[in-house]
Amino acid sequence: MKCFVITKKHIIIASCLVVALTLSIIGATQTFAQSNRKLPIYCVETEKKQIAISFDAAWGADDTDTLISILKEHEVPATFFVVGAWVDKYPEEVKRLSDAGHQVQNHSNTHPNMPRLSNAQMCDELKSCNDKIEKVTGKRPTLFRPPYGDYNNATIENTESMGMKCIQWDVDSLDWKDSATPDTIYQKVTSKVKNGSIVLFHNDAEHTPEALPHILKTLKEQGYEFVFISDLIHKENYEIKHDGTQCKIS
């Protein structure tokens, strides 16, 4: 009868095999999870030099008329994602934005972290905000931007179930930071914009009105055309890459 002697070498080989098998399982699990992960639209793959300017509106409204004036001077259409509570507080500002030719879209009703909500609560956030915007502007939103940029699969699924698209951004002005200055905002935006970019600003950030004219002028000089997000994105026959880039499927 043969005796099998377990040596240190055998233990090392077995340990390596266990580690390799574990890593393989983890890798397969992560790949599966990633393949089933839903993504919002961060930007659009396009050969056209088109970009979209967007503003999130959730708190103050002191700069509304200034922003409207700047956008009008530079002939730039913008997409404003507004919170329902903001509509309650500033209905006249919402109407002025719409009357000035800008699109007013959904940024939730109370600005919650969407992944923390149930499906019913998510849908209520979307519907309530849509109802308020439509009552003031006469137009029902077709786009939704999750507060804090925070989302999960359910957020996107519930958004799509209401016939809406979930929108993020690929260029962040970081205009909300205490350290922001007109120059840092300008540099953040102009250094990162590319064809199909969606740029994020905030309607009540301290230095945005000062930075915005220079940004718009520079981007126009670089040949960019400004369009609404709803005109930039594809409505059907598309896929979204792992980095959130929306691509047309021919």
* Catalytic sites, residue numbers: 56, 202
| H or E segment to which residue 91 belongs | helix 91-99
Residue 93 structure tokens:
């500002």
Q: Which residue has the tokens 């979307």?
A: 126
CB atoms within 10 A of CB 213: 16
Maximum Cα–Cα distance across the chain: 95
Which position has the token pair 């905000």? 129
Helix (H, G, I), strand (E, B) or coil at 104: strand
| Distance from C-alpha of 249 to C-alpha of 98, rounded to nearest angstrom | 33
Contact status, residue 215 vs residue 186, Cβ threshold 8 Å:
yes
Give dist(CA 109, CA 124) in Å, integer. Answer: 8
Name residue 151's amino acid.
Y
Alpha carbon separation from 172 to 53, 161, 241 (Å, rounded): 11, 28, 19
Q: Is residue 61 within 8 Å of 93, Cβ to Cβ? A: yes
Contacts for 79 with CB less than 8 Å, ≥ 6 apart: 52, 53, 54, 55, 102, 103, 105, 143, 228, 229, 230
